[in-house]
Chains A and B, each alone.
Chain A
Amino acid sequence: MLDQRPLAGIRVVELAGLAPGPFGGMVLSDFGADVVRVDPAGVTESTDVLSRGKRSISLSLKDPRGLAVLKTMLSAPTTDKSLWRADVLIDPFRPGVLERLGLAPADLLKANPGLIIARVTGFRREGPYGKMAGHDINYIALSGVLSMIGRKGDKPLFPLNLLGKAFDRDFAGGGLMAALGVVMAIVERNKTGKGQVVEIDMVTGARYLSSFVLMLAKPSYEGASFSGPRGENLLDSGAPFYEVYETKDGGYMSLGALEPKFYKEFLTILLKSVPASLIPSPAPTPTSRFDIDTWPTLRSFFEAAFLHRTRDDWTSIYIGTDSCCVPVLSPLEVDSHGLSSIEPGNTVSEEGSTPVPAPTLSRTPARGVKDWQDSDTFVIVPGRDTRDVMREAGLGGEVEKLVKDGVMGASKKDSKL
């Protein structure tokens, strides 16, 4: 069956590690790459939830025979194209670990000049943090971006799911950027036949992602919109018309009415939707919006106004308008395709749903969502596919001995894919 996905035919070895590596591998896998995760022999459980579509072999890299297996998989393709050889290696370890394992990139590239080696670290390699342990919150702390999130007077807020483990660092600044770099290297390799080392660290990745925000954080820069203290800028809760407000039922509405015509539409509707007693005197007008002296009153008014109705009420009032006022949905209220339970006729399962890959490629899309609804497809057992992968790599004859000697692990006797 012809695999229509864009990265069909690309083979990836992903050395098991934390978040950014698996996420990068997951993106490549979603879009068609054949990703094999290498788990350390002896590990029987994994909490990696990003393993859908991947396979796992279990291998001891400390044993020379195990190392030899991996090196074979990373070596140059032979004339028999059906033999499994990697195009990409994902290295999630601290600088030096790969080298100490006997897998120095220079050696790997000598053996296979077409190999693309993606090295993903948290801290930058240069400088004193390069060899230190750390986690997401540390990386975003060093990026400058964490200091910019939070309300006025509060300490910075690290959003677990965004800046932190998910977005900026591990995922957007780390894994997603790693995937981008890998695909760029693959495209470049088409022209030259040569691979290379692709390095991403999460501090640099997060900063690149935040280029615009950081540019405008410079106080001397004309038009700086992010140079004030935390929580006092345009897009960080400093402005009452770019904020999140609580509703009567404890839900939240987001308001992002930046442009004059959108703000006018928002305000006109708001004034009609609350009792007159709530409206301050003089009433806010569309043109008085940038008078910063009025912001405290404006903010109090908006707070009181939104508290007057439920979230779903406000949702219906503003739907179909250009008011830039939409409900804040919890992850569980949104299904795989981003449809939410507030849209008529749509129901969302209680657990919410697995987000679909993005973006959509019309002719060669990523794999569909139906495959992933069960948890046992998104957390795979280490070593589940050892036998299959070894066979595909042309090493099938050695498997049983290596398993017996503990150099490899295989969790299924006869795994069929």
Chain B
Amino acid sequence: MFKSSVLHAAKRLPLTGVKVLEFGGLAPGPYAGMILADFGADVVRVDRTGISYNRDQLTRNKRSIAINAKSDGGKEVLQRLAASSDVIIDPFRPGVLERLGVGPKDCERLSEGKAIFARLTGYRSQGPYSKMAGHDLNYLALSGVLATIRPPGLPPIPPNNYMGDYAGGGLMCALGVMMALFERSVSGLGQLVEADMVTGARYIGTGPFLRARPDANLGPGWAEPAGQNVLDGGCPFYALYPCADGQFVSIAPLEEKFYAEFIELLAKSGVTADDPGFAPSKAAQHDRQEWPALRAHYASIFKQKTRDEWATYFLHTDACVAPVLEPHEIGPDGEGLLEVDGQRAWSEHGGIPEPAPSLARTPALRASDWYQSKATPAEQYFLTPGAHTKEILQAAGYSEGQIAEMLAAKVVQG
């Protein structure tokens, strides 16, 4: 069985041989499938018939089969595929796949207990929200996490969708699948993995939530209202400052020795603050009465040079200062603008991130290999529904004749 034309690394992939059936959805499901595909799993996306375009863009290294799941023939195909899959990714509201005969219990039976059925939802499966429509922002809202993303005194801000959809959803689902895969190697059995984005987002927030508890006793700066904590803007030396060119630097010299280095370097920078009489000192670092003056002091210094001037100045130091880069300033391996001697080594639009983590002996497929091997953006990002229907059916044991019949009857498309 061959995969679609992608350059395989010479090294082995960690998930070679793992077969994944990903029911087509948006964002979290495709992302979970993409992680597994990046690391070598054979991922087949199930599309419906009657469409020629699927706007999902997280499609690299996957194949597609298009099935009319409402037809009896289509259901039979689905069940046969489910029976031979190691992992099934279900992004629908619970009940949808049951009605097609490939719900968790069906797949358990079809696979003789081996399948790992991953159910990905937004809201939790219990409670009044479970049957309601929602989006990333809503899941974050219910998780307690959105409340913490806000400037002091202002409403929380929609932070794009990677915390709910991707972190709490797709990534969490992939992790659960991996754990179930390992457990199966011990027990021989699959199971149901349920990932909802409210719970996932909260789990990721465990650290800050625990630190914010009064009984954690971490002292001031950890359990204050949003915007008044050490790590959320309450502290002048864990903050962003605008520079002369309207860009920003991040400063974070929390530890005493880093702070000492930071203020020393500021003093030597040749820039005079608006308040030349005021000198930050190591001793006064945590004197909160001084913090407003400290904040004003830093602001007046940083605004006098450009972001890149500051970034260069603080390079190779432990002052914990780094520039806030925009997406187009970063290459595929995360190399930032300043790291390539002023030359842009990638296209002007920045790089598409490579998979993480890096497994030294059995690394993931390089994302850039995929994108560079495709001639058009359409081929780079989109997967045509049914592009691989025939080869998938062949591998599933259907004869040429059967496949032709199914195509003619529109039971499948491809």
Contacts and interface: CB of A to CB of B under 8 A. Distances in A.
Contacts, number: 513
Given A328-B147, A375-B216, A254 B141 contact: yes
Interface stretch (A205-213, A284-292, A382-390, A399-407): A205-213
State the majority secondary structure of interface residues on B. mixed
B182 A190 contact: yes
B356 A208 contact: yes
Contacts of B334: 124, 142-143, 201, 203-204, 207
B147 A171 contact: no
Given A194-B361, A196-B360, A334 B202 contact: yes
Given A137-B250, A155-B240, A358-B168, A128 B315 contact: yes
Contacts of B193: 359-362
Contact of A180 (B141, B323, B357): B357
Interface of B: 12, 14-15, 27, 31, 34-35, 39, 55, 57-58, 118, 124, 126-129, 131-138, 140-151, 154-163, 165-168, 171-176, 178-183, 185-187, 189, 191-196, 198-218, 226, 229, 231-233, 238-240, 242, 248-255, 258, 315-330, 333-336, 338-339, 349-350, 352-362, 377, 381
A269 to B, nearest CB: 13
Contacts of B179: 6-7, 31, 183, 361
A165 B230 CA distance: 11
B250 A236 contact: no
Which of B160, B214, B226, B323 has the largest count of A CB atoms less than 10 A from its CB? B160
A172 B167 contact: yes
Given A144-B329, A329-B142, A200 B356 contact: yes
Which of B201, B255, B324, B361 has the largest count of A CB atoms less than 10 A from its CB? B324
B326 A219 contact: no
A317 interface: no
B172 A358 contact: yes
A144 B204 contact: no
Contacts of A222: 377
Given A136-B252, A165-B207, A212-B166, A198 B381 contact: no
Interface in A136-152: 136-151
Contact of B134 (A171, A184, A324, A343): A324
Interface string A69-113: 000000000000000000000000000000000000000000000
A331 B356 contact: no
A157 B192 CA distance: 37
A362 B126 CA distance: 15
B56 to A, nearest CB: 10
15 contacts: A118-B357, A123-B322, A137-B238, A138-B322, A148-B327, A160-B232, A162-B145, A185-B14, A199-B357, A205-B357, A212-B161, A252-B155, A326-B129, A352-B209, A364-B187
B155 A211 contact: no
Interface stretch (A240-248, A273-281, A408-416): A240-248
Contacts of B182: 6-7, 183, 186-187, 190
Given A129-B315, A139-B322, A354-B206, 18 more contacts: A26-B206, A47-B218, A123-B322, A124-B333, A128-B338, A142-B325, A145-B327, A164-B231, A212-B27, A213-B161, A214-B327, A222-B377, A319-B128, A326-B138, A338-B198, A351-B214, A361-B179, A361-B193
Q: Nearest 3 CB-CB pairs, A to B? A: A160-B232, A181-B357, A256-B135
Interface string A313-337: 0000001111111111111111001
A47 B219 CA distance: 11
A283 interface: no
Contacts of B128: 319-320, 343
Contacts of A133: 253, 255, 258, 318-320
A170 interface: yes
A134 B320 CA distance: 4
A190 B16 CA distance: 12
Contacts of A258: 135
A331 B161 CA distance: 19
Contacts of B14: 184-185, 187-188
Which of A6, A162, A196 has the largest count of B CB atoms less than 10 A from its CB? A162
A158 interface: yes
Contacts of A17: none
A359 B176 contact: yes
B87 to A, nearest CB: 12
Given A168-B167, A324-B135, A244 B156 contact: yes
B142 A220 contact: no
A161 interface: yes
A9 B186 CA distance: 10
Contacts of A205: 356-357
Contacts of B161: 212-213, 235
B323 A141 contact: yes
B333 A128 contact: no
Nearest to B27: A212
A128 B339 contact: yes
B252 A176 contact: no
Contacts of B149: 149, 157, 159, 161-163
Contact of A331 (B147, B181, B329, B339): B147
B117 to A, nearest CB: 9
A307 B255 CA distance: 43
A43 interface: no
A190 B183 CA distance: 11
A242 B136 CA distance: 10
A337 B200 CA distance: 11
B156 A328 contact: yes
A328 B12 CA distance: 45
B132 A320 contact: yes
Nearest to B179: A6
A295 interface: no
Given A135-B252, A141-B325, A343-B128, A161 B143 contact: no
A159 B167 CA distance: 15
B231 A165 contact: yes
B349 A219 contact: yes
Given A124-B334, A205-B356, A357-B203, A135 B162 contact: no
A204 B14 CA distance: 19
Contacts of A49: 207, 210-211, 216, 218
A181 B359 contact: yes
Nearest to A195: B361
A252 B147 contact: yes
A223 B56 CA distance: 11
A246 B174 contact: no
Nearest to A375: B215
Contact of B183 (A128, A172, A354, A361): A361
B333 A362 contact: no
Nearest to B147: A330
Contact of A208 (B172, B318, B354): B354
Given A133-B320, A150-B157, A321 B203 contact: no
Given A49-B207, A327-B142, A328-B146, A126 B166 contact: no
